[in-house]
Chains A and B, each alone.
Chain A
Amino acid sequence: MAHGGALPPTTVSGFSELIQALTAETLVRTGGATHPRLAILGAIEARLVRADRLVLAGLEEGVWPRLPATDPFLSRPMREALGLPPPERRLGLSAHDFAQAACAPEVLLVSAERRGGQPAVKSRWLWRLQILAAGAEVEIPSRPELLDWARALDAPLADPPPALRPAARPEPRPPLAARPRRLSVTQVETWTRDPYAIYARHILRLSPLDAPDAPVEAGPRGTAIHVAMERLVSDHPELPPDAEARFEALLLEELVKVGVRRPALARETAYARRLAPWVIGWERQRRPDARILVEQQGALHLGEIDFTLTARADRLELKDGLAHVIDFKTGAPPTAKQVKAHFAPQLTLTAAILQGGGFAALGPVGAGELLYVQLTGREIAGRVVPALGAEEDAQTIVAAALAGLKQKVAEFDDPTSPYISWSAPQHAKSWGGDYDHLARRFEWHVMGGSGAEGGA
């Protein structure tokens, strides 16, 4: 370090590597207080100690004996020519250590079959001992029970108490009083697929906490795009001529706000560049003659089942006496088939709230188009995906969704109805839901414990 001036310039990480390499060279002897009857020593230290029972561990080639270091300058033949001792001299010393230690009154020789995940080769001295003993027809006593003991120490219990049996698929049946009387349309969507998630969030009141410095995932990115779309409407009631550039800047600003780091921003910049013209083109199409409301809160109390359904609509467009419902997605929106089958009732139930007058700013109003707008910024920068096919009768499906919800609420008003985990795996988006771990899904699904049954 004192002569660092002679070194070429380095980088922070290079310097850190250097320090690590230097510190790794230094041997620190901790010594200090030891057990009165048990000592763990290196080979040389052990020479000074007399012990009643000696365990020689690590009898593998490369560990004991340690292989001589590679000399970058002089090879073995060159050393010989120069009259220098061969690198194997140290092996001799090491053999001496071994021979001396192996002569204690009681000796246990231990070698590992695998080291660092790789098969190991027994130490040469073990080989010699074994061959010699075999030749002399002497049996070296082995202690196979020691390995059995070691395995038995942490072995699975043969007959575990109930608490230690593999967890089954959870099916909690909380009392009625604990069950939620108010859910949002997106939560109802979760309910249709994974009721346990509703249980964990709304009954146990457990919510995920973002770890500091966690990489920004889909969630916050989606938030940024939503906010950008909202601000496009609130900041620019009239679209300026350079709306594209403004939206692009707006979006990048929001992405930085939610914590997208610089390297990820390279990709986001490319997306924003493509997304902006598409969004503005779409806006110019949607805006005329429409009253646009962003981020609207709606709630509908269903008296007969005493349940409140809420919704937060990304965007409502009032036009020709109808309210069009628009939801922005950064990922793939649900298919029309899923919407029709009510596994994605977010928009149909939002429509039901609209019709029931649940959006205070609008009063009761008929629902028009139900649209997902997928915003990616990729080759197809944006896409409008109607939630239902053109030939579907939206009215009927909306009514069916509301009726279905009522049925579901009624069903869960039976204290024996359980909140099982993953009730409709076909429609599960993917692994990695917030409550999969709490539900021990891996334990009963992948590991397939006693009689547990999985889904997909």
Chain B
Amino acid sequence: MSAPTAQMRAADPTASVFVTANAGSGKTKTLVDRVARLLLKGVKPEAVLCITYTKAAAAEMQGRLFEVLGAWSVLEGAVLREKLAQLEGRPADAFDDETLSRARTLFARALETPGGLKIQTIHAFCEKLLRRFPLESGVAPGFRVLEDAAASAVSARARERVAEAALDGPEGPIGRAYAHLAVKLDRRAFDGLLAAFEGQRDAIRAYVTRCEAAGRTVADDVWTVCGFPGEPSDPEALEAEAVAACDWAKWRLAAEALIATASSSDAKLSARLAALAECAAQGRGFEDCWGVFSTAAGEPLKDSSLGTKKLDPAIKAWLLEERDRLHRACTRARAARVAVDTVHALTLALAHGELYAGAKAETGALDFDDLVARTVELLTERADAAWVLYKLDGGIDHILLDEAQDTAPAQWDILRALTEEFFAGEGARAAQRTLFVVGDEKQSIYAFQGAAPERLAEEAQGYSARIADGGGVFLGVPLLESWRSTPEVLRFVDEVFRPAEMRKAVPPPPGLDVVAHKAGRSDGLAGLVELWPLETEPDTPEPQPWTAPVDAPPVENARKALAQRIAARIADAIARGEAVYDKELKRLRPMHGGDVLILVRGRDGLFEEIIRALKSRGLATAGADRMQLSKHIAFQDLMSLIRTCLFPRDDLSLAEVLRSPLCDVDEAELFQLAHGRQGSLWAALHARRGEAPAFEAAAAFLDWAREEAAIRTPFDWLGRVLARLDGAGRSVRQRIVTRLGREAEDALDETLNQALAAEARGVFDLERFAAAQAGSEIEVKRELEGPRREIRVMTVHGAKGLEAPVVILPDTTRTRQGARSPLLPTPDGGFLFAAGKADDCEASAEAREALEAKDEAEDLRLLYVALTRARDRLIVCGRIAKRAGTASGAPDQTWYAHCARALETLEARKVDDGGLALRRFGADPITAPASAPAESDAPAALPAWARGLAPAERALAEYASPSDLAGRARAPAPSPLSQTRGLGRFRRGELIHRLLQLLPDLPEAEREAAAARLLARERDLDPDQRTEMAEAALRVLGDPQFADVFGPGSRAEAAVAGTAPSLPPGLAVSGYVDRMAVAPDRVLVVDFKTNRPTPDDIAGADPAYLDQMALYWAVLSAVFPERRVEAALVWTDGPRLMPVPQAVIDARLERLRSLRR
């Protein structure tokens, strides 16, 4: 038996462990092993909580755990013993039979964990907790969790309310703040600011609370931070003051002195001084004055730029002094401006926060941030965490936290609350509870979602001390082996992150000096890393407006060139059969498209260009990993169809539908229809439908779609549209996908999802559906994995957790991430507003630098994640604008530069690859052994019957209730108001109806008294009315002809079901009659009807009622062939009993038979 490996030590269930795991080091396996070992040790599955970062990770872990435990449950003793020995690193004979049989039961126990295994995301955990404790946590029971789309609707509502509040009180604080910032920022930036408020609302709230706790307002604090303690200042006044203090005589003097030096630069300065000195007082703005002494970028001019050596030293000294004075004023004014803007922004943020909370409360909804915040509150303030956990499935003894580097501070707080008593040292229990945290600071790329990578090391330290104090065992275990990448790729990664400045952002695990990966793969394939020269931007000729090119040639640019080079390289590698190592087959095989992962930083022009280049080379690609639904043409086609159905005279929409795959009318045919027409395009299409098969098909399709649109809900309608077959048996969906590619499938599916979601919100018509979709910006995340062997192009963020044999990084020359919100968080938890560097005061510049340093660090971690996705090889390439390059080819501090430097150190060799002078580290690509058989995975052919429409089935039997079958009876509903207006006729009818229902069940002698009691409860009736009604009801009950039906042995609500020879063939009846009695010689059946007014005779009765009675009669006659069946209607409003004569019954049956023949 060998020494336990790092993975084994990490999975040791008796210790609490903090693991720092390199990329590809088998983190998930370690987690699964640990859970398995905990269960083996006898821990109840419900006492284990495992928190993962995504739902996908949770599902994967659960699956892997079931696989492991499932395998145990059916293994033979010796084999199982060996497995367990391997898992725990103990000798096989340490496992007795009892342990083995316990191991075999774990699978079933885990599957049937009461309440389910707790392998879930933090949000799922919080949601469950809050649902269990709605009262304790103060949330609405049955609250909704706001998904992104719904959250954006709520936030839009909040924004509108902020605007309304501003409009209602333009001179109030909100109104002034709103106007100030709306003017200051452009439309997008302003909307972006309001959106940013949502993400920062808790931090803003906390800032305000902190200020108030310190006994001052936020405004006081902001002004103090900006350098105006106690006294707000007006930036314009500060500037005016500085201008007023200008001594124009001195300016003139300086201007003259400068002229005298006869230097051209002095002369320029002189002219600028003089111009201001001489102009009218109102023409002198501060900007102008300061402009004389500053550069275009707003920096103060250098000493040397203010007068040449020949200048009189006294004048020079004065110039420097004047510069400094104005610079001070400029700085002060800027700081005041930052303060003013910040106070306005925070005012707006607070208002927005309140209105947002209000909008959410109205809908009883919580968003993801709320889930976490409320849970923290529940566990730390509102209730005792231990009690909460006890009440939740009897407590949690072991916690496992995955992806700890991306855990946000509030989530760490939850963990702290949950583990509060774990290590409190209260007896034996402490030793039986453990915490397991796995993460990799190097892979923290979710700062924008609040991740705090530095917390990982801090928490490890804190827990180490607490666990040791409580008598538990704490281990820090680094997992250094990579089972994913080839040694060449790993050496390259180590080299990229070796320099000290890289290590600050991408820190080595505790106890190590440098980032180092141990190659764990043993397949022997030599990997490689390639660096391609940068593509540079070519000269593009200006297009000519008047001489339009006949076929506008594509614009050549570096982006396109790079995309095409990548596509060519992949096509070449696949054609040559370059080898990759297949993890599943455990051998080399020729590469296919599914082995290639192209990682970009954002979905911009390059991203689109690469997908385009791959497609035009005929390479199968999975398309974009996210799509903007409203921008996708398949979605737009469906929206145009909706508009056309709603507004047939919307010619442009109709034309769009005609040109779309819904109709496939071509450009020439559209001209034929549209040009020179009189009236609408719709009319033209219908008038000329005979002229072309495409017109006929389009007109038929549109007529059908329009008819259906009027009666279907959006989801139903869209489903039918997509499933509709054309003349050749192709569905609309198939035609769309054929023309627009597989990617369109996701657009269609998401459109259907939207329709379904809209219906859940109560949108049941196309017009409102289309209107709701018009302004929405839904982003669809597409699943690119799958068996289709398609090349994947995605962002590094999207590729988290993925890997591929070949990884290409084309987007390596960016220097900075996108724009940030102007409301900058300061390092000490405050906020300052400054739109850009040029607006910064000292404090905000400091805040900005801190944020930029964080961004840069995260950017390097993103590089680490990108590089470590590669299994066998890595290709780094990029493009560059002409002027931006430095000596090394790319600007410093870009990914490309870092990679180039590493390859330089590794002495990568120069290779000429078909005219491309690249650098290569590692082996040259080899082709896969020819013996490798090409797997055949041709999909099964669709049988012919599947393409046709199923033939209509002849109904064998049809059950129908007589009331359905006979058509809806026309009984007007009583007005709900009628009851309140004294004794209307409706009221009387209803009361009698009730009497007729209740009285027959009583012995005849008691009926009168019961009727009196019943009517006595109706307080507003007078005695005469009561008497009249009771008599009327009793008269019906006593009608000699039908007395039996109300007599003893009669039944209410009798079920009648069956067929009869006198019924139409294939028809079976199923229904209930109000009253029935079976006597020795006859069967009586009665139905109550509430029609008003009561018809005079049977001919006046609704034929539907007569049909109904005829059907009952038919069935009962078949059931009781020996007895006479008699039917009657009771009109409760009369009340009046009206037998249905046999002749009428026969006539109705005859008619029904003729109808259904």
Alpha-carbon distance between A67 and B112 when the two chains are bound, in angstroms: 11
Alpha-carbon distance between A195 and B666 when the two chains are bound, in angstroms: 18
B819 at the interface (CB under 8 A from A): no
Encode contact with B along A154-191: 1 for CB under 8 Å, 0 otherwise.
11110010011111011110100010000000000000
Chain A residues with Cβ below 8 Å from B967 are none
Which bucket holds chain B's interface residue count? 35 or more
B700 at the interface (CB under 8 A from A): no
Q: How far is the CB of B379 from chain A (nearest CB, A)?
A: 16
29 A-B pairs within 8 Å (CB atoms) are namely A36-B957, A70-B132, A71-B132, A72-B141, A117-B781, A118-B55, A118-B56, A135-B73, A154-B745, A166-B741, A172-B668, A192-B545, A205-B675, A214-B774, A262-B163, A266-B164, A267-B187, A269-B167, A270-B178, A273-B179, A274-B183, A343-B545, A404-B545, A443-B633, A447-B740, A447-B743, A448-B616, A449-B741, A453-B554
Q: Is A209 a contact partner of B650 (Cβ separation < 8 A)?
A: yes
Q: Is B178 a contact partner of A114 (Cβ separation < 8 A)?
A: no
The segment from A282-290, A301-309, A384-392, A422-430 that touches chain B is: A422-430
Q: Is A266 a contact partner of B178 (Cβ separation < 8 A)?
A: yes
Q: How far is the CB of A259 from chain B (nearest CB, A)?
A: 14
Closest to B605 in A: A456
Chain A residues with Cβ below 8 Å from B394 are 75-77
Q: How far is the CB of A2 from chain B (nearest CB, A)?
A: 13
Q: Is B167 a contact partner of A262 (Cβ separation < 8 A)?
A: yes
Q: Is B955 a contact partner of A76 (Cβ separation < 8 A)?
A: no
B391 at the interface (CB under 8 A from A): yes
The 6 closest A-B pairs by CB, nearest first: A135-B74, A448-B612, A404-B546, A145-B940, A270-B179, A263-B163
Q: How far is the CB of A456 from chain B (nearest CB, A)?
A: 6
Chain A residues with Cβ below 8 Å from B762 are 16, 20
Chain B residues with Cβ below 8 Å from A132 are 74
B363 at the interface (CB under 8 A from A): yes
Chain B residues with Cβ below 8 Å from A274 are 183
Alpha-carbon distance between A440 and B655 when the two chains are bound, in angstroms: 11
Q: How far is the CB of B617 from chain A (nearest CB, A)?
A: 10
The segment from B22-30, B426-434, B726-734 that touches chain A is: B726-734
B1119 at the interface (CB under 8 A from A): no
Chain B residues with Cβ below 8 Å from A206 are 651-652, 655, 674, 681
The segment from B60-68, B283-291, B972-980, B1132-1140 that touches chain A is: B60-68
Chain B residues with Cβ below 8 Å from A17 are 362-364
**A residues 108-138 in Cβ contact with B at 8 Å:** 114, 117-122, 124, 127-128, 130-132, 134-136
Q: How far is the CB of A410 from chain B (nearest CB, A)?
A: 10
Q: How far is the CB of A135 from chain B (nearest CB, A)?
A: 3
Alpha-carbon distance between A215 and B73 when the two chains are bound, in angstroms: 62
Q: Is B393 a contact partner of A76 (Cβ separation < 8 A)?
A: yes
Q: Is A35 a contact partner of B362 (Cβ separation < 8 A)?
A: no
Alpha-carbon distance between A203 and B115 when the two chains are bound, in angstroms: 68
Q: Is A440 a contact partner of B633 (Cβ separation < 8 A)?
A: yes
Chain A residues with Cβ below 8 Å from B971 are none
Closest to A17 in B: B363
Alpha-carbon distance between A144 and B737 when the two chains are bound, in angstroms: 23
B473 at the interface (CB under 8 A from A): no
Q: Is B543 a contact partner of A424 (Cβ separation < 8 A)?
A: yes
Q: How far is the CB of A377 from chain B (nearest CB, A)?
A: 7
B775 at the interface (CB under 8 A from A): yes
Q: How far is the CB of B1094 from chain A (nearest CB, A)?
A: 32
Chain A residues with Cβ below 8 Å from B184 are 378-379
Q: Is A131 a contact partner of B183 (Cβ separation < 8 A)?
A: no
Closest to B160 in A: A263
Alpha-carbon distance between A59 and B372 when the two chains are bound, in angstroms: 31
B93 at the interface (CB under 8 A from A): no
* Contact status of A215 and B659, CB under 8 A, knowing A209-B647, A269-B167, A424-B545: no
Closest to B621 in A: A448
Q: How far is the CB of A79 from chain B (nearest CB, A)?
A: 10
**B residues 711-737 in Cβ contact with A at 8 Å:** 730-731, 733-735, 737
Chain A residues with Cβ below 8 Å from B616 are 448, 450-452
Q: Is A153 a contact partner of B942 (Cβ separation < 8 A)?
A: yes
Q: A17-B364, A211-B643 are in contact. List 13 more A-B contacts (CB 8 A).
A: A72-B131, A75-B393, A118-B59, A127-B111, A135-B75, A153-B942, A204-B671, A262-B163, A265-B163, A420-B548, A426-B543, A442-B632, A448-B615
Chain B residues with Cβ below 8 Å from A265 are 163, 167
B1021 at the interface (CB under 8 A from A): no
Q: Is B652 a contact partner of A207 (Cβ separation < 8 A)?
A: yes
Alpha-carbon distance between A215 and B955 when the two chains are bound, in angstroms: 51
B583 at the interface (CB under 8 A from A): no
Q: How far is the CB of B106 from chain A (nearest CB, A)?
A: 12
Alpha-carbon distance between A109 and B71 when the two chains are bound, in angstroms: 21
A44 at the interface (CB under 8 A from B): no
Chain B residues with Cβ below 8 Å from A70 are 128, 131-132
A29 at the interface (CB under 8 A from B): no
Alpha-carbon distance between A160 and B731 when the two chains are bound, in angstroms: 13
**B residues 1094-1131 in Cβ contact with A at 8 Å:** none
Q: Which of A160, A208, A377 contacts B183 (CB 8 A)?
A: A377
Q: How far is the CB of B1077 from chain A (nearest CB, A)?
A: 29
Q: Is A443 a contact partner of B178 (Cβ separation < 8 A)?
A: no
* Contact status of A72 and B134, CB under 8 A, knowing A163-B664, A448-B616: yes
A446 at the interface (CB under 8 A from B): yes
Q: Which of B543, B664, B783, B942 contacts A423 (CB 8 A)?
A: B543
A369 at the interface (CB under 8 A from B): no
Q: Which of B134, B182, B613, B631 contacts A266 (CB 8 A)?
A: B182
A78 at the interface (CB under 8 A from B): yes
Q: Which of B159, B739, B939 contacts A166 (CB 8 A)?
A: B739
* Contact status of A155 and B734, CB under 8 A, knowing A70-B132, A120-B59: yes
B588 at the interface (CB under 8 A from A): no
Q: How far is the CB of A228 from chain B (nearest CB, A)?
A: 18
Alpha-carbon distance between A232 and B656 when the two chains are bound, in angstroms: 41
A281 at the interface (CB under 8 A from B): no
Q: Is B737 a contact partner of A156 (Cβ separation < 8 A)?
A: yes
Q: Which of A134, A195, A213, A435 contacts B74 (CB 8 A)?
A: A134
B324 at the interface (CB under 8 A from A): no
B1022 at the interface (CB under 8 A from A): no
Closest to A19 in B: B762
Q: Is B182 a contact partner of A423 (Cβ separation < 8 A)?
A: no
B98 at the interface (CB under 8 A from A): no
Q: Is B362 a contact partner of A88 (Cβ separation < 8 A)?
A: no
Q: Is A156 a contact partner of B164 (Cβ separation < 8 A)?
A: no
Alpha-carbon distance between A11 and B75 when the two chains are bound, in angstroms: 62
Q: How far is the CB of A140 from chain B (nearest CB, A)?
A: 14
Chain B residues with Cβ below 8 Å from A200 are 652, 655
* Contact status of A33 and B163, CB under 8 A, knowing A124-B112, A156-B737: no
A361 at the interface (CB under 8 A from B): no
Q: How far is the CB of B561 from chain A (nearest CB, A)?
A: 14
**A residues 66-114 in Cβ contact with B at 8 Å:** 67-68, 70-72, 75-78, 86-88, 91, 114
Closest to A455 in B: B555
Q: Which of A75, A269, A342 contacts B545 (CB 8 A)?
A: A342
Alpha-carbon distance between A438 and B666 when the two chains are bound, in angstroms: 11
Q: Is A76 a contact partner of B115 (Cβ separation < 8 A)?
A: yes
Closest to B391 in A: A75
A40 at the interface (CB under 8 A from B): no
Encode contact with B along A382-410: 1 for CB under 8 Å, 0 otherwise.
00000000000000000000001101100
**A residues 251-266 in Cβ contact with B at 8 Å:** 262-266
Alpha-carbon distance between A424 and B547 when the two chains are bound, in angstroms: 11
* Contact status of A164 and B167, CB under 8 A, knowing A13-B363, A75-B391, A437-B633: no
Q: How far is the CB of B818 from chain A (nearest CB, A)?
A: 18
B3 at the interface (CB under 8 A from A): no
Q: Is B546 a contact partner of A426 (Cβ separation < 8 A)?
A: no
Chain A residues with Cβ below 8 Å from B545 are 192-193, 341-343, 345, 404, 408, 424, 427
A27 at the interface (CB under 8 A from B): no
**A residues 19-63 in Cβ contact with B at 8 Å:** 20-21, 33, 35-37, 61
Alpha-carbon distance between A77 and B164 when the two chains are bound, in angstroms: 51
B636 at the interface (CB under 8 A from A): yes
